[in-house]
Copies of this chain bind each other. A is one copy, B any other.
Amino acid sequence: MMYLTQQKRVLGAVFERANRPLTPPEICEEARKEIPALSIATVYRAIKQFLEEGQIRAVEVPGAAPHYESAARHHHHFFVCRECKRLFDLIGCVRGVGSLAPEGFRVRQHEIVLYGECAACTNPPNKSRTV
């Protein structure tokens, strides 16, 4: 039997309303707005369970800690800002990626990650970047 607890409900909601993939600490911080005593261990436990249930998906990004997002979101790829370290969704996908694989290889999944500076970091709205 599995109990639906307050913490899982809140954590599930965090994933539902997130508009970008989150790290476990980010998820914890967000959920603590509703459950201040929430333990990071519970966040990891919920992530593990949600992954098994297929409710969320791991976003493995090179050069960044693992991020997680609702499985309900569409297939997409990411932009990693080297400045602020945030992940952004990319709209669309490139065709023909699978055909890069050699003969006999079975492609199950692909990840495309762009690196650079996001709009906010390239052209800061209120402070100079001449640091």
A residues lining the B interface (CB < 8 Å): 58-63, 77, 79, 82, 88, 90-94, 96-98, 100-119, 122-123
In whole angstroms, what is the CA distance A60 to B88 when docked? 18
Q: Which residue in chain B gives the minimum CB-CB distance to A95?
A: B94
In whole angstroms, what is the CA distance A117 to B62 when docked? 20
Chain B hits for A112, CB < 8 A? 97, 100, 110-113
Are B82 and A105 in contact, with the CB atoms below 8 A? no
Are B102 and A88 in contact, with the CB atoms below 8 A? yes
Given A115-B110, A117-B106, are A60 and B63 also a contact pair (CB < 8 Å)?
yes
Given A92-B100, A100-B94, are A62 and B113 also a contact pair (CB < 8 Å)?
yes
Chain B hits for A109, CB < 8 A? 114-116
In whole angstroms, what is the CA distance A116 to B115 when docked? 24
Given A62-B61, A63-B60, are A101 and B116 also a contact pair (CB < 8 Å)?
yes
